């Protein structure tokens, strides 16, 4: 685990990586339990994908994509700052070395 966290910290230090930890106590964590992604196609149309335990779902309805965007904004608002997230990763990595 320590090596994985060290690698994650190295990645988080790159200019093209934004890593923010959302504390488990954040209210948004209770509202959403599956990963998702939102993509803008070359046509300019947005689609989303949610991942379930058995299968995934492609979402194309604009109002559902808007709801996912709001949820993402809530995650981002509740997340630790980048520096705080990196410090937590490093501190946790050190604990695993003991």
One digit per residue, the tens of pLDDT, for the chain of length 98 reads 999 999 999 999 999 999 999 988 888 777 777 889 999 999 999 999 999 889 999 999 999 999 999 988 998 999 999 999 999 999 999 998 87
Same domain, 94 and 53: no
Same domain, 32 and 69: yes
Same domain, 34 and 53: yes
Instruction: Mention every residue, 6+ apart, whose C-beta is less than 8 A from residue 62.
Output: 46
If one counts the domains in the chain, the total is 2
Query: For residue 45, what are the domain limits?
Result: 24-79
Same domain, 37 and 66: yes
Beta carbons within 10 angstroms of residue 48's beta carbon: 19
Same domain, 28 and 72: yes
Same domain, 29 and 67: yes
d(CA 93, CA 11): 14
């Amino acid at each position: 685990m320590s090596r994985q966290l060290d690698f994650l910290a190295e990645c988080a230090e790159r200019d093209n990586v934004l890593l923010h930890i959302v504390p488990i106590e954040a209210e948004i964590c209770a509202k959403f339990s599956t990963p998702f992604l939102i993509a803008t196609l070359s046509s300019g149309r947005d689609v989303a994908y949610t991942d379930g335990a058995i299968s995934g779902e492609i979402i194309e309805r604009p109002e559902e994509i808007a709801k996912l965007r709001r949820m993402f904004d809530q995650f981002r608002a509740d997340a630790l700052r980048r520096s705080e997230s990196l410090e937590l990763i490093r501190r946790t990595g050190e604990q695993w070395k003991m």
